[in-house]
Amino acid sequence: MTKLDIELSGPELVETKSDLAEAAKMKYLTRDNAVFLETEGHMLTVHVDGEVHPAVYLHCSFPHKNNRIFISVRTGENEEIGMIESLDEFQSDTVTLLEEHINLRYFAPEITTINKINEEFGYSYWDTETSSGNCYFTVRSGRGNVTAVTANRVLITDVDGNRFIIKDLNALTEKEYRMVEMLMG
């Protein structure tokens, strides 16, 4: 037996097979097996194959690129109940409910105008106009806090963990573009 044979027959290979087998058993939630409702307290609940999960949370696989596909539905203890492959598989009232909960979780106002960005001592201080009104926030330099999500879309995370989006870099003025470009990491 060669060293390669030993490595291939070791516990790593068995563990990999069990991980793949586990992923293959993933439960997909559809309009046929899942009913989503909102409680009086505005919590999301789901009934899956006769089992009720009173408080669930939605986790998007691609929250800033496409938040309509591959949405993990999890309990408060972070146990996955199932995966929504696409919101398009549900009726419009359910899609509206799920989109509301996704938008709450991934709230990120769109920056429409950058009035000024000042840099000082490893922080940048942003004075902006957003889809939610005027906003002043602080971003720590480095660490990917100003990140290109696509070729034209930028995600900014401030020191408090709030997120902001620039949907289209090409829509910025040349001055605004230069200010953002200097901070992108």
pTM score of the predicted model: 0.63
Is the pLDDT assigned to residue 108 strictly greater than 90? no
Q: Which pLDDT score, from 0 to 100, does residue 143 have?
A: 75
The confidence score (pLDDT) of residue 51 equals 92
| pLDDT of 18 higher than 60 | no
pLDDT tens digits, one per residue of 41-67: 888 999 998 899 999 999 888 876 788
Name the band, by pLDDT with cuts 50, 70 and 90, for residue 2.
Answer: very low
Average pLDDT over residues 108-128: 94
Confidence check: pLDDT of 32 > 50? yes
DSSP string, 80-132: EEEEEEEGGGS-HHHHHHHHHHHHHHT--PBEEEEEEEEEETTEEEEEEEETT
Please determine, for residue 130, whether its predicted confidence score (pLDDT) is greater than 90: yes
Task: Domain ranges for the chain, please list them.
Answer: 3-105, 111-181
CA 39 to chain centre: 23
Q: Are 135 and 125 in contact (CB under 8 A)?
A: no
Q: Residues 104-128: what's their mean pLDDT? A: 92
Q: Provide mean pLDDT across the span 70-81.
A: 91
- What is the pLDDT confidence band of residue 160, given thresholds at 50, 70 and 90? confident
